Amino acid sequence: MKPSTRAALAAAPAGLALAGALAVPANAAAPRPSVPSQPQARNQAAAPQVPAFDFKKECAPLPAGQDPALAVCLGLVVTDGTMKLGGLSQQISKPLRIVVQATQASPSENSKITSVRMSGRPMKVPGGVTGLLGLPIPGTDDLPFFKVEVQAKYAGGFEFELPNAKIGLKIKIRNDALGAGCFIGSKKDPMKLDLAVDFSKVTIVDPGDPADPFGHPTVLNGPAEDSAFAVPKTAGCGLPGPLIDWKVGLPSPSGKNAASFNTYIALGQYAAPSARAARSGARQNPLDRLRALKIG
């Protein structure tokens, strides 16, 4: 058999699998939770998956001339959960981290975004192409043209005002047969998630230190869900693109998709408050401090 023929035969299953086998059934996310009630404190030692927040390294430098007292760093980490995009269902197997810098021109104004950084390693689809087909063959996950990974990328539109957080995403599909630019969605046409946080399930992982909110930030944990967003069609996937869209059902309208995330939220100020303000902050519920934050 000629090398070109073997390559074509190897590439074909990947394109077909990404198109036809992504229809793995998934459970839709629960309806949007109601808001209320105060969080209960929880011992951080009882939560071994709690991510670390190193704001001194992660947060962007302040813009020139910015008053540090009017600047905050917000960190969000999704440690696990699921996403259903049309017929594609993916478990969150690698943490997704978002670090946002927000500043105010004056205390009377809402915070505006000056930096958003999103990072997360590619997540392997178990069984690769054969796993998506529902016939996983052990040992094929990392074979050329069989390995399939997905990776969430920031596509703009971040807003934060509890109980909701909005963000635009696109999903990169990584496979040897599809090239480097295959995405579900794009920067011009992203998935627009409006994630609702259920306050009744929020817990205080670490109340933080009001005297050192940047070095020792408040950390909370709770579920965030959205089942009302739409999913656009693929972009940059070449010839397999229309076939993927057809088999997965893209674009997928609102009500056919879902996101359910276990999310950790941390907030730190660039400037430590005065001693009086620190004492006042110590008496304030940590969730109330986050509730008062409005970005976007």
Q: In one letter, which amino acid is 6?
A: R
Q: Which residue, among 35, 22, 152, 10, has the nearest Cα to 93 in the 3D structure? A: 152
pLDDT at 74: 95
- The per-residue pLDDT for range 211-238, each reduced to its tens digit, is 787 888 889 999 999 999 999 999 998 8
The tokens describing 42, both together, are 């929880």
Alpha carbon distance 289, 202 (integer Å): 14
The tokens describing 258, both together, are 């879902």
59 close to 73: Cβ distance less than 8 angstroms: yes
pLDDT at 208: 84
Place of tokens 């390995």: 147
- The per-residue pLDDT for range 241-270, each reduced to its tens digit, is 887 788 778 999 999 999 999 999 999 888
pLDDT at 43: 43
Alpha carbon distance 131, 247 (integer Å): 16
- Cis bond before residue 273 (omega within 30° of 0): no
pLDDT at 7: 37
pLDDT at 274: 56
pLDDT at 44: 42
Residue 99 backbone dihedrals phi, psi, to 5 degrees: -125, 125
CA dihedral for 108, 166, 197, 57, sign (positive or negative): negative
Using the CB atoms, write b or e for 179-192: b if 16+ within 10 Å: eeebbbbbeebbbb
Inter-CA distances, 162 with 38, 84, 123, 287, Å: 13, 24, 28, 9
pTM value is: 0.78
pLDDT at 273: 60
Alpha carbon distance 150, 153 (integer Å): 10
pLDDT means over runs of 10, the chain (296 residues): 36 38 37 42 51 91 91 95 88 95 89 94 76 63 82 95 94 86 94 94 87 85 96 91 82 96 92 56 69 84
Burial class (CB in 10 A: 0-12, 13-18, 19+), 251: middle
